[in-house]
Structure 1
């Protein structure tokens, strides 16, 4: 779960949690991610937080977005580590 009191922005925490699910194989390459609404409900965050997390995962090369959904990358593994984005604000 995300930590509301952590100095790390919520969207970075959420992106890291989703990244772990991709890396573990729980979320499969080239398959849709759970919907924004489902992620909101699952992690107790706002829609903007979910969208920012997906954008960060896209920057890391871990997901690609299609017109109506975000999908994991072909390999499911990105170019950047979670620590690369830890200094972001959001």
Structure 2
């Protein structure tokens, strides 16, 4: 899924994959999204890259994190 020869940074490519999974219902609202470690394993990316992906999705309001429990898909906003 990740094009290692692309000029597009890996964290953007992974974030795009997760956004698509949220949009198509693979990850439903309130369901857990992959952890940093799981993202590392699935996509072959570094820990910092995985953290950046989750941070960006949090900034976009697509996920929220519960300390000690993980990150989850946010409910769709009313204006979406």
Interval of TM-score (by shorter of Structure 1 and Structure 2)? 0.7 to 0.9
Aligned with 2:72: secondary structure? strand
User: What are the superposed Cα offsets for residues 31-66 of structure 1, whole Å, 9 maximum, x if unpaired?
Assistant: 111222111111111111111001111111111111
Checking the alignment, whether the CA contact within 8 Å between 1:11 and 1:52 is kept in structure 2 is yes
Could you say which residue in structure 1 is the equivalent of 2:76? 75
Question: Which runs of no fewer than 5 residues in structure 1 stay unpaired?
Answer: 80-90
The number of aligned residues is 77
Unaligned runs of 5+ in 2: none
| Structure 1: distance between partners of 2:3 and 2:12 | 11
Tell me the TM-score normalized by structure 2. Answer: 0.85
Q: For residue 21 of structure 1, what is the aligned residue in structure 2? A: 21
Q: Is the 8 A contact 1:12 1:56 kept in 2?
A: no
Question: In the alignment, what sits opposite 2:5?
Answer: 5
| 1:26 counterpart SS class | coil
The equivalent residue for 1:57 is: 57
Runs of 4+ in 1 over 6 A off after TM superposition: none
